[in-house]
Amino acid sequence: MTTTPPSPPLDAANLARIDRLAEALTGADAVLVGAGAGLSVADGDAHAGPAFEARFADFHAARGITDAYSGGFYPFPTPEEKWAFWARNILLQRYESGPGAVYRDLHALLDGRDFFVLTTNVDHRFQNSGFPKDRLFYTQGDYGLFQCSVPCSQDTYDNHDAVVAMDAAERAGAAVGTPMRVPTHLLPTCPRCGEPLTTNLHADDTFVQDAGWYAAAERYVAWADAHQSGRVLHLELGVGMNTPGIIKYPFWRRVHANPEATYACLSLEAGVLPEIAGRSILIDADLGAALSALRERLG
- Cβ–Cβ < 8 Å for 276, 256: yes
> Is residue 152 marked as binding?
yes
The CA distance from 106 to 135, in Å, is 14
Q: Under DSSP, is residue 278 helix (H, G, I), strand (E, B) or coil?
A: helix
- Cβ–Cβ < 8 Å for 219, 137: yes
Provide DSSP, 70-95: HHHT---SSHHHHHHHHHHHHIIIII
Q: Residue 173: what are its φ and ψ, rounded to 5°?
A: -65, -40
> Is residue 190 marked as binding?
yes
Q: How do beta strands 141-148 and 280-283 pair?
A: unpaired
Q: What angle do CA 111, 299, 40 make, to 5 degrees?
A: 55
Q: Residue 38: what are its φ and ψ, rounded to 5°?
A: -60, -25
**Strand spans (E) along 88-175:** 115-119, 136-138, 141-148, 156-158
The CA distance from 187 to 166, in Å, is 8
**Strand spans (E) along 11-122:** 30-35, 115-119
> Is residue 265 marked as binding?
no
Residue 220, Cβ neighbours under 10 Å: how many? 18
> Is residue 148 marked as binding?
yes
Binding residues: 148, 152, 190, 193
Residues of each annotated binding site for Zn(2+): 148, 152, 190, 193
